[in-house]
Amino acid sequence: MAATATATDQSVLEGLLRAAVAGEPHARDRLLAEIHPIVLRYCRARLGRQETLMGSADDVAQEVCLAVVNALPGYTLRGLSFRAFVYGIAAHKVTDAFRAIGRNRSEPVAEIPDVPLVRDGPEHHLLQIELTEHVGALLHLLTPRQREVLVLRIAVGLSAEETAHAVGSTPGAVRVTQHRALNRLRRTVVTAGADAEHEGDDEG
Protein backbone atom coordinates (compact mmCIF):
# COMPACT_ATOMS: atom_id res chain seq x y z
CA MET A 1 0.00 0.00 0.00
CA ALA A 2 2.76 2.46 0.96
CA ALA A 3 4.69 1.71 -2.22
CA THR A 4 1.55 2.34 -4.29
CA ALA A 5 0.93 5.63 -2.50
CA THR A 6 4.52 6.69 -3.12
CA ALA A 7 4.25 5.83 -6.80
CA THR A 8 1.03 7.85 -7.01
CA ASP A 9 2.62 10.83 -5.28
CA GLN A 10 5.59 10.65 -7.65
CA SER A 11 3.24 10.52 -10.63
CA VAL A 12 1.37 13.59 -9.36
CA LEU A 13 4.64 15.45 -8.81
CA GLU A 14 5.84 14.62 -12.31
CA GLY A 15 2.55 15.86 -13.73
CA LEU A 16 2.85 19.11 -11.79
CA LEU A 17 6.44 19.51 -12.91
CA ARG A 18 5.61 19.05 -16.58
CA ALA A 19 2.79 21.59 -16.36
CA ALA A 20 4.95 24.05 -14.40
CA VAL A 21 7.80 23.79 -16.91
CA ALA A 22 5.23 24.47 -19.62
CA GLY A 23 4.31 27.69 -17.80
CA GLU A 24 1.01 26.72 -16.11
CA PRO A 25 0.67 29.11 -13.11
CA HIS A 26 -1.50 26.85 -10.93
CA ALA A 27 0.88 23.91 -11.37
CA ARG A 28 3.83 26.17 -10.57
CA ASP A 29 2.20 27.34 -7.33
CA ARG A 30 1.37 23.78 -6.27
CA LEU A 31 4.89 22.65 -7.09
CA LEU A 32 6.35 25.42 -4.95
CA ALA A 33 4.08 24.39 -2.08
CA GLU A 34 5.53 20.88 -2.39
CA ILE A 35 9.20 21.89 -2.40
CA HIS A 36 9.15 24.77 0.10
CA PRO A 37 9.19 22.56 3.25
CA ILE A 38 12.15 20.60 1.86
CA VAL A 39 14.05 23.75 0.94
CA LEU A 40 13.33 25.29 4.34
CA ARG A 41 14.66 22.22 6.16
CA TYR A 42 17.84 22.32 4.14
CA CYS A 43 18.42 26.04 4.69
CA ARG A 44 17.79 25.74 8.43
CA ALA A 45 20.09 22.74 8.65
CA ARG A 46 22.92 24.66 6.96
CA LEU A 47 22.32 28.17 8.32
CA GLY A 48 20.67 27.52 11.67
CA ARG A 49 18.51 30.23 13.19
CA GLN A 50 21.06 32.99 12.73
CA GLU A 51 20.39 36.17 10.78
CA THR A 52 22.68 36.92 7.84
CA LEU A 53 22.94 39.89 5.49
CA MET A 54 20.58 37.91 3.26
CA GLY A 55 18.14 37.47 6.14
CA SER A 56 17.19 34.33 8.03
CA ALA A 57 17.22 30.75 6.76
CA ASP A 58 13.53 31.23 6.03
CA ASP A 59 14.36 34.24 3.84
CA VAL A 60 17.03 32.28 1.99
CA ALA A 61 14.50 29.49 1.42
CA GLN A 62 12.18 32.02 -0.21
CA GLU A 63 15.07 33.14 -2.43
CA VAL A 64 15.64 29.53 -3.42
CA CYS A 65 12.00 29.03 -4.35
CA LEU A 66 12.05 32.20 -6.45
CA ALA A 67 15.21 31.01 -8.20
CA VAL A 68 13.57 27.64 -8.87
CA VAL A 69 10.60 29.38 -10.51
CA ASN A 70 12.94 31.43 -12.69
CA ALA A 71 14.89 28.32 -13.66
CA LEU A 72 11.88 26.13 -14.47
CA PRO A 73 11.70 27.05 -18.19
CA GLY A 74 15.19 25.67 -18.68
CA TYR A 75 14.68 22.49 -16.67
CA THR A 76 14.82 19.27 -18.65
CA LEU A 77 12.50 16.47 -17.57
CA ARG A 78 15.15 13.85 -18.25
CA GLY A 79 18.41 13.30 -16.43
CA LEU A 80 18.91 15.12 -13.13
CA SER A 81 16.05 14.50 -10.69
CA PHE A 82 13.98 17.52 -9.74
CA ARG A 83 14.92 17.29 -6.06
CA ALA A 84 18.62 17.24 -6.96
CA PHE A 85 17.96 20.20 -9.27
CA VAL A 86 16.34 22.11 -6.40
CA TYR A 87 19.19 21.15 -4.06
CA GLY A 88 21.73 22.56 -6.51
CA ILE A 89 19.99 25.93 -6.43
CA ALA A 90 19.63 25.82 -2.64
CA ALA A 91 23.32 24.97 -2.19
CA HIS A 92 24.32 28.01 -4.26
CA LYS A 93 22.04 30.31 -2.26
CA VAL A 94 23.37 28.99 1.05
CA THR A 95 26.92 29.51 -0.21
CA ASP A 96 26.00 33.11 -1.05
CA ALA A 97 24.61 33.56 2.46
CA PHE A 98 27.84 32.29 4.03
CA ARG A 99 29.91 34.56 1.79
CA ALA A 100 27.76 37.51 2.82
CA ILE A 101 28.88 37.06 6.41
CA GLY A 102 32.46 36.17 5.54
CA ARG A 103 32.26 32.52 6.49
CA ASN A 104 33.27 29.36 4.75
CA ARG A 105 30.28 27.22 3.72
CA SER A 106 31.91 24.20 5.34
CA GLU A 107 31.81 25.77 8.80
CA PRO A 108 29.38 23.69 10.86
CA VAL A 109 25.99 24.82 12.04
CA ALA A 110 24.87 22.57 14.89
CA GLU A 111 21.24 22.25 13.95
CA ILE A 112 19.11 19.66 12.25
CA PRO A 113 15.65 20.36 10.77
CA ASP A 114 12.71 20.40 13.17
CA VAL A 115 10.85 17.57 11.43
CA PRO A 116 12.77 15.18 9.17
CA LEU A 117 11.22 14.49 5.79
CA VAL A 118 9.16 11.31 5.97
CA ARG A 119 9.67 8.89 3.11
CA ASP A 120 8.71 5.28 2.71
CA GLY A 121 11.28 2.56 3.22
CA PRO A 122 13.07 1.09 6.24
CA GLU A 123 16.31 2.97 5.51
CA HIS A 124 14.70 6.39 5.79
CA HIS A 125 12.71 5.43 8.88
CA LEU A 126 15.92 4.19 10.53
CA LEU A 127 17.70 7.42 9.66
CA GLN A 128 14.86 9.47 11.12
CA ILE A 129 15.09 7.54 14.38
CA GLU A 130 18.88 7.88 14.48
CA LEU A 131 18.93 11.62 13.81
CA THR A 132 17.17 12.88 16.92
CA GLU A 133 17.48 16.43 18.20
CA HIS A 134 20.24 15.32 20.58
CA VAL A 135 22.25 13.80 17.77
CA GLY A 136 21.56 16.83 15.59
CA ALA A 137 23.32 19.00 18.15
CA LEU A 138 26.48 16.94 17.55
CA LEU A 139 26.70 17.51 13.80
CA HIS A 140 29.69 19.79 14.30
CA LEU A 141 31.71 16.69 15.17
CA LEU A 142 31.34 15.36 11.63
CA THR A 143 33.40 16.20 8.57
CA PRO A 144 31.85 18.67 6.08
CA ARG A 145 31.11 15.79 3.67
CA GLN A 146 29.47 13.69 6.39
CA ARG A 147 27.27 16.61 7.47
CA GLU A 148 26.26 17.36 3.91
CA VAL A 149 25.36 13.74 3.21
CA LEU A 150 23.20 13.45 6.35
CA VAL A 151 21.46 16.76 5.66
CA LEU A 152 20.72 15.76 2.07
CA ARG A 153 19.49 12.32 3.04
CA ILE A 154 17.33 13.56 5.93
CA ALA A 155 16.44 17.22 5.41
CA VAL A 156 16.11 17.18 1.64
CA GLY A 157 15.12 13.53 1.39
CA LEU A 158 17.39 12.68 -1.53
CA SER A 159 18.04 9.04 -2.31
CA ALA A 160 21.58 7.69 -2.16
CA GLU A 161 21.74 7.99 -5.94
CA GLU A 162 20.53 11.60 -5.94
CA THR A 163 22.85 12.53 -3.09
CA ALA A 164 25.78 10.99 -4.96
CA HIS A 165 24.98 13.12 -8.01
CA ALA A 166 24.68 16.23 -5.84
CA VAL A 167 28.02 15.81 -4.04
CA GLY A 168 29.96 14.33 -6.94
CA SER A 169 30.28 10.83 -5.54
CA THR A 170 28.80 7.35 -5.99
CA PRO A 171 25.77 5.80 -4.24
CA GLY A 172 28.04 3.25 -2.57
CA ALA A 173 30.36 5.95 -1.25
CA VAL A 174 27.37 7.95 0.01
CA ARG A 175 26.11 4.95 1.98
CA VAL A 176 29.58 4.38 3.45
CA THR A 177 29.86 8.06 4.45
CA GLN A 178 26.39 7.93 5.98
CA HIS A 179 27.21 4.75 7.89
CA ARG A 180 30.45 6.17 9.27
CA ALA A 181 28.78 9.43 10.25
CA LEU A 182 25.99 7.69 12.15
CA ASN A 183 28.47 5.37 13.86
CA ARG A 184 30.52 8.36 14.94
CA LEU A 185 27.45 10.06 16.38
CA ARG A 186 26.37 6.85 18.13
CA ARG A 187 29.78 6.49 19.77
CA THR A 188 29.69 10.10 20.92
CA VAL A 189 26.23 9.69 22.43
CA VAL A 190 27.19 6.46 24.19
CA THR A 191 30.38 8.04 25.58
CA ALA A 192 28.49 11.10 26.78
CA GLY A 193 25.92 8.87 28.47
CA ALA A 194 28.62 6.85 30.21
CA ASP A 195 30.34 10.02 31.43
CA ALA A 196 27.08 11.37 32.80
CA GLU A 197 26.45 8.08 34.61
CA HIS A 198 29.91 8.17 36.20
CA GLU A 199 29.36 11.76 37.31
CA GLY A 200 26.11 10.69 38.94
CA ASP A 201 27.89 7.86 40.76
CA ASP A 202 30.59 10.24 42.00
CA GLU A 203 28.00 12.66 43.33
CA GLY A 204 26.21 9.83 45.08
**What is the residue type of 56?**
S
Helix (H, G, I), strand (E, B) or coil at 52: strand
CATH number of 1-107: 1.10.1740.10
3-state DSSP call for residue 55? strand
pTM summary value: 0.65
Distance of CA 83 to the CA centre of its chain: 10
Q: 48-64 in b/e burial notation, b at 16+ Cβ within 10 A?
A: beeebebebbeebbbbb
How far, in whole angstroms, is CA 48 from its chain's centroid?
Answer: 13
Parse the chain into domains and list their residue ranges: 1-107, 110-204
- SS3 category, 2: helix
The CATH architecture assigned to 110-204 reads Orthogonal Bundle (1.10)
Q: pLDDT tens digits for the chain (204 residues)?
A: 444 444 446 677 788 899 999 999 999 999 999 889 889 888 888 877 666 566 788 899 999 999 999 999 888 876 667 888 888 899 889 888 877 766 544 444 445 444 444 444 555 545 554 554 455 567 778 888 898 898 888 767 788 988 888 888 999 999 999 999 988 888 887 776 555 555 555 555
d(CA 105, CA 134): 23
- What is d(CA 143, CA 174) in angstroms, rounded to the nearest whole number? 13
> Quick check: do 1-107 and 110-204 share a fold?
no
Give CA 173 to chain center in angstroms.
Answer: 18
Residue 42 in contact with residue 151, Cβ under 8 Å? Answer: yes
